[in-house]
């Protein structure tokens, strides 16, 4: 009897992602790349709190200097027909992830800057 493969109830778990993970989305029509925190993924599309990848460096520098915010992340739904690819933002060997670079340059994590995590307690 052939073995029936089980599909996880949560599509994010099937690809090893969970809510709040940093991801890079490659979109089509129009071509676009965004970096952000994954909020939901389902058959209709993806919800992320994100910024265009080309603006990430400017946002990081703004946060590092403590400037008035003129750039930031927005919550957006992208329909699945626009999503070409999604990958976890992770370091690979000597290449640091966007999240790791942000923490190194700013001195705080993205989640702390966005108010999703409390700031670390001073020692």
Q: Would the pLDDT of 118 be above 90?
A: no
Q: Are 38 and 80 in contact (CB under 8 A)?
A: no
Q: What would the CATH number be for the domain defined by 17-113?
A: 2.30.30.100
User: pLDDT band at 12, cuts 50/70/90?
Assistant: low
CA distances from 62 to 18, 33, 121 (A): 28, 20, 23
Confidence category of residue 17, pLDDT binned at 50, 70, 90: confident
Give pLDDT tens digits for 76-86: 999 999 999 99
What are the tokens at 83?
Answer: 């999503």
pLDDT in tens, 57-112: 999 999 999 988 889 999 999 999 999 999 999 999 999 999 999 999 999 999 99
Domain ranges of the chain: 17-113
User: What was the pLDDT predicted at 5?
Assistant: 57
């Amino acid at each position: 009897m052939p073995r029936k493969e089980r599909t996880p109830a949560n599509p994010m778990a099937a690809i090893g992602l969970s809510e709040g993970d940093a991801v890079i989305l490659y979109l089509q029509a129009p071509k676009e790349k965004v970096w952000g925190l994954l909020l939901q993924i389902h058959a209709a599309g993806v919800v992320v709190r994100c910024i265009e990848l080309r603006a990430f460096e400017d946002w990081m520098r703004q946060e590092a200097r403590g400037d008035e915010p003129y750039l930031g992340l927005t919550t957006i739904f992208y329909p699945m027909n626009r999503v070409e690819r999604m990958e976890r933002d992770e370091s690979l060997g000597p290449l640091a992830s966007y999240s790791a670079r942000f923490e190194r340059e700013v001195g705080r994590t993205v989640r702390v800057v966005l108010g999703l995590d409390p700031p670390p307690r001073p020692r």
